[in-house]
Structure 1
Amino acid sequence: MGFEDLEPIFGEPKVEWEQGQDSVKLRPFLFHVSASDPSHLRIHVTDFHSNTWEAVKSVLQLEDMRDNIGIGGSWSEFVDYVIASIKSEDLKLVMEGHSSSGVLRALVEMEAIDNGSDLLCCSGDVYFKSDKLMVNLLLLIVVTGAVYAKLVGQKLKGMPLISIPLTKLVDAAASEAMANLSLELFKAFKNMRHSLVEEKERTFQLTKVISAEKERNETIQSQLDYYSKRQKFQKKNATDKADVSAPPMSNGLQNSPDKLKAQDANSTKVVNRVVPAYRRAKVRGAFLQDAEDDKDS
């Protein structure tokens, strides 16, 4: 039970602010899901600017998530559901909150205020003493970013939602996360390109085999056609020779019933013909009549 066979996952979530907050256009985000080790799932989300987030979930934490969501089935089925939800086109990165200290630091770095003297801080909130600084508000939100974020997704509409809280990374940790995502993305690109080259080579070899097989089939078919025509020609010649050697037909009446009957009659007459006397003695076993009987006849 782990993530030994998990392939790296990359994608672009839909980004939105939590309900009730100002809608500010944000930079595009990319996410990277991988297994930091066989028992931990790691997620990085970043805009490669000022918002970089991370979540590391152990097998036990995911088991607790499954119980909270109420998804039954085996562990592998739950992991498949989580991965399918992350791969969904409707995966969302929901962000909320702004940091007052971040606001002050950003304005100072932008030289929009003089060491914070134009700001009034009260109960953790920041107020502008002058309206001239309000023009920096939109840029300020983009620079400081959000305080909280989470990935929300589901395999299909109507199915349970997966919600994964994210922790914001800053400074060296954020830079390392962005560098790691970039390198892993490039590595995945190289693997995909290598697979594409191999697939093209297999396709080329398969095309050659198919072409050779097609040519072979055409050759065999040509030979079969040749032998078939030759056999028909020989059979036709044999039939013609048989017709030439056969006795001529007399208006088609050579084998007519009347002619056959006449032939039978003639043959009967031949059989009943009286044998001459000078030949009778030569026939062995012939019945010899007396001379007186011959005279009487």
Structure 2
Amino acid sequence: MWDYTDKVLELFYNPKNQGVIEATNEPGVKVATGDVGSISCGDALRLHLKVEVATDKILDARFQTFGCTSAIASSSALTEMIKGLTLDEALKVTNKEIADYLGGLPEAKMHCSVMGQEALEAAIYNYRGIPRVAHDDDDEGTLVCTCFGISENKIRRVVLENNLTSAEQVTNYVKAGGGCGSCLAKIDDIISEVKQESAKQNLNTNGAKAKTEVSSLGQQKALTNVQKIALIQKVLDEEVRPVLIADGGDVELYDIEGDKVKVKLQGACGSCSSSTATLKIAIEARLRDRISKDIIVEAV
């Protein structure tokens, strides 16, 4: 039996806001719905919103769910969370916040909170008369999981938003890989690609930050040996190593003699035929850019 929190069980046995919101042609009010999931796949959710047109405020929210305990509790929690919010505020609600509202969900049931987030997006896009596919490319791109109809774009999004690190976690969040299992290797490849892309983005962000720090130090006074060593280590740890690790390699600072920086290339980098390029492009050029144009990097 799943280890459900008291809040999950409370909203399962006594769900709030279950039902339909009928359009009544009330002046200044509009009703919209959003559908996600499929009964044939085990879970389906229809979310109803009653919106005050002048303010974009959600006056009421109700749901109809076909699914398990977590699906019903997540849907009920979502309706409670969004009532009183504007549509733009509601769009910022994440599946993690839905799970947190419930005191947590079993990891294998996290897809229920994701379903709630997606139904909310669908309802708001329908209200605004905007085709959801034009703003959410989850349904575009290569179909990875044919059992549940999950695209590569959707897997990438959920991996990035929830910092997932394994195919099993992806299955828990969006069911991909939970059928025949033939797509699990592809899911692992997607996770690896997302990690590398994130590492490169962090490299650029941290690089700009380090460059600012170096510039600030330079305006004050020349770096002492201790500052220089610390800064070289910082650039290696925050900017260089994440990229190398993502490709199966690594680098270790060995020694510093004046402007000569000695490093040890490890893992895939140590036996790679392009290790010289790694030294000059990935390491030396970055240290020259961040610290001193006179730096020379050598491997030991």
Higher relative contact order (CA 8 A, sep 6+): 1
- Asked if Structure 1 and Structure 2 have the same fold, meaning a TM-score greater than 0.5 normalized by the shorter chain, the answer is no
Q: Larger C-alpha radius of gyration, 1 or 2?
A: 1
Per the shorter chain, which TM-score range?
Answer: under 0.3
